[in-house]
Amino acid sequence: MGDVKKACADLKSGKPVFIYDMDGREEETDIVFASGTVKPENIMFMRQNGGGLICTTVSDPVAEKIGLPFLVDVFKTAQAVHPVLRNSLPDTLPYDTKSAFSITINHRRCYTGITDIDRALTVAEFGNLVGDVAAGKSENPLKSFTKAFRVPGHVFLLRTSKELLKDRNGHTELSTALCLMAGLPPTATICEMMGGDGKALSKPDARKFAESRGFIFLEGHEVQEVWKTWSG
């Protein structure tokens, strides 16, 4: 519990936390930042030390209020017009029951959207919006979203499962749960750590990287155990 508590404090102060999901699942470690704290140097850190896909999570209740769909549902709707989408949906994932991907976004003040500065702007502003929606401060979440963001863009949104850490235990859920336990808006920005052999960085190497720099390394079961108590 101590490491989870320290991880929550680190997220609040803008530091990264490292989360390994679990053996037998993806078996990957993600670098995790609280979205509202993200700065350009954090995007650079993930690019240089993660190397995977930089994505931003959003809790299911907030996604519902904004109207953010699962991407697979968008594709299902579009199958009639675009036959290439038929029989191509991720229904047979080897490690999970569904994909967390939602839409991709750029903030309207971005230029190309891909630079560290642009992606940090998109992430931080999305984090602010999620915070407002979660706190009931946005009278029209959909209008607030469309006023601030363009679709598609260079930041990949991931939507959590409805029952957080009950029917899905991916990095999307683990990182979002950690943000909630930290008293932060339910959105994290995450990036998988890749190794030099073309595979995901091993758990021992990811742990060594994090701990040698004074960062917290957590395994998914540690987050789950504290979450069960915290969420009642």
Residue-wise pLDDT tens digits, 74-89: 999 999 999 999 878 7
Nearest CA to 162 out of 232, 230, 60, 92 is that of 60
Q: Is pLDDT of 220 > 70?
A: yes
Residue 106 a catalytic site member: yes
Domains along the chain with CATH numbers = 2-66+103-230 (3.90.870.10)
Instruction: Please report the pLDDT score of residue 161 as a whole number.
Output: 93
Rounded to an integer, the average pLDDT of 42-53 is 98
Residue 171 a catalytic site member: no
Catalytic residue among 95, 140, 163, 167: 95
Catalytic residue among 8, 28, 60, 106: 106
The pairing of beta strand 29-34 with beta strand 188-192: antiparallel
**b/e burial code for range 43-72 (CB count within 10 A of at least 16 → b):** bebbeebbbbebbbbbbbebbebbebbbbb
Instruction: Please report the pLDDT score of residue 94 as a whole number.
Output: 72
Residues in contact with 29: Cβ distance below 8 Å, sequence separation at least 6, in sequence order: 18, 19, 20, 192, 193, 200, 201, 203, 206, 207, 210, 217
Cβ neighbours, 10 Å, residue 88: 11
Residue-wise pLDDT tens digits, 165-202: 998 899 999 999 999 999 999 999 999 999 999 999 99
Residue 110 a catalytic site member: no
